[in-house]
Amino acid sequence: MQSTTTKSAFWAGVRDGAPFMAVAGPFAMLFGVLATEAGLSIFEVMSFSIVVIAGAAQFTALQLMQDNAPTVIVLISALAVNLRVAMYSAALTPYLGAAPLWQRIFAAYLLVDQSYALSHAKFDADPDLTVPQRMAYFFGTCLLVMIVWFGCSYAGAALGTALPADLPLDFALPIAFLSMVAPMMRTLPHLIAAAVAIVVSLLAVSIPYSLGLIVAGALGMMAGAQAELWLKGRRA
């Protein structure tokens, strides 16, 4: 890394981001298919993907709208699923906080799992990068992933109208959610958080307005945080 220019930092980001096309593409496509099946037009699907850019939160909102949950619950739940981007924002601020406001606005819009993970690792490993080089790298990581995200949302929406009606698509969403959750079970507190959330959500299904989901999510979160404290206390 002798003579990094802003331009070469951008292209390094593009290169490092390329493999993530394989992750973003299928999810965007699945969202397009399922949203179309739920009755959304292609224009609505595209607006959703362009305005929100958050797979798990979009799936959550779609499922709850199909369940006729109140709009407030749809928003709270989907935003809760997306809370991790606030952590990403906090984690990148020491590196990008000095950039001009308009760049930080665009960076915030494009802050997703991939751009965060790649950029944080790069900034940490390469402390000599200037702020413009860091921004260039960050935007580089977004380029291909975003093209694929929007393109595959469109492809999925177009495909959704053409699929046979008897496919068991009602269960595609639960399977997608489970596949996203499974790799998150890295530690005992994660498992405890999930277990508490599951038990409470099943006990609380009869609570109206899908409020059971909020209660179960909040209790699961608190259980995970408490479990982490206890484990740390025992080790210390």
Task: Give the nearest distance from C-beta 3 to another protein in angstroms.
Answer: 28
Decide if residue 129 touches another protein (CB under 8 A): no
When asked if residue 198 is in the footprint of another protein (CB under 8 A), the reply is: yes
Nearest partner of 29 among 47, 14, 49, judged by Cα: 49
Q: How far is the CB of 13 from another protein (least distance, A)?
A: 17
**Binding flag, residue 85, another protein (CB under 8 A):** yes
Taking the alpha carbons at both ends of the chain, their separation in whole angstroms is: 40
44 binds another protein (CB under 8 A): yes
Span near another protein by CB under 8 A; candidates 11-19, 91-99, 125-133, 152-160: 91-99
173 vs 217: CA distance, rounded Å: 18
Find the shortest distance in angstroms from Cβ 101 to another protein: 7
CA distances from 102 to 87, 94, 97, 135 (A): 21, 17, 12, 12
- Residue 189 binds another protein, judged by CB under 8 A: yes
Residue type, 120: H
Q: How far is CA 172 from CA 62, 87, 129, 210, 217, in A?
A: 12, 29, 43, 21, 22
Per CB under 8 A, 48 contacts another protein:
yes
Which residue among 82, 114, 133, 153 contacts another protein (CB under 8 A)? 82
Cα 209 to the center of its chain, rounded Å: 25
CA distance 110 to 99: 15
Instruction: State yes or no: residue 193 binds another protein (CB under 8 A).
Output: yes
Residue 60 as a binder of another protein (CB under 8 A): the answer is: yes
- 114 interacts with another protein by CB under 8 A: no
Q: Is 188 a binder of another protein (CB under 8 A)?
A: no
Binder of another protein out of 32, 140, 156, 217 (CB under 8 A)? 217
Q: Per the structure block, which two tokens stand in for 222?
A: 């608190």
Residue list 152-181, contact with another protein (CB under 8 A): 168, 170-181
Residue at token pair 């751009």: 115
C-alpha span between 222 and 38 (Å, rounded):
33
